[in-house]
Amino acid sequence: MSQLRTQLDALIAQTSLEVSDQQRSQLVGYVEMLDKWNKAYNLTSVRDPQEMLVKHIMDSIVVSTHLQGESFIDVGTGPGLPGIPLSIMNPDKQFVLLDSLGKRIRFIKQVLHELKIENVTPVQSRVEEYLPEDKFDAVLSRAFASMTDMVEWCHHLPKSNGGLFLALKGQLPQSEIEQLPEWCSVTDIKALTVPQLEGERHLVILSRKE
């Protein structure tokens, strides 16, 4: 068993997440690919694979239990975060991973192929130009602009009836919450615990006002 797998197992053991053997193998496989491609394509500023496990994998999968619905879009996904880890954790849900940079989408396509992930559709587009026929149960974003920008740029993506915005944030962004547009409100805030990660993490759940 690889050192990364041993470390991932130890991290997951500090949470209440249920992660199968296959899912653990896919998560480690994703980190190994990210590490390999990163050297040539500069996909993430995190260089150390062990650090990736904490800052990318654990930081993403702790959101897994808060996903309600069937269809999700990860906007500004970068190399597939949090979309790839969440798609591995939720094989029964559908994910669109959106990014405007071709090299990131090429990497994601290779990940899907090598790790046999079948519930992800990668899309290269700017978010405001992406106009899908079917809307989503939730729009996910991690390290993507401010929440105000997120809801303004992505307002056309969640279902009009009950669609949500899920923003992964560090410290609670009180000033961003105060600047939200009239039509949007915070429905819930979840404090997230990420093993071995310094600093706070929050999931801010937003929806349209009825």
Cα distances from 71 to residues 87, 142, 154, 184, in angstroms, run: 11, 17, 15, 20
Binding site listing: 76, 81, 127-128, 142
Q: What angle do CA 124, 130, 134 make, to 5 degrees?
A: 115
3-state secondary structure 22-89: HHHHHHHHHHHHHHHHHHHHCCCCCCCHHHHHHHHHHHHHCCHHHCCCCEEEEECCCCCCCHHHHHHH
What phi, psi does 163 have (nearest 5°)?
Answer: -70, 145
Binding site listing for S-adenosyl-L-methionine: 76, 81, 127-128, 142
Give the start-end residues of each E strand in 133-183: 138-142, 164-169
Closest CA to 98 of 68, 115, 74, 79: 74
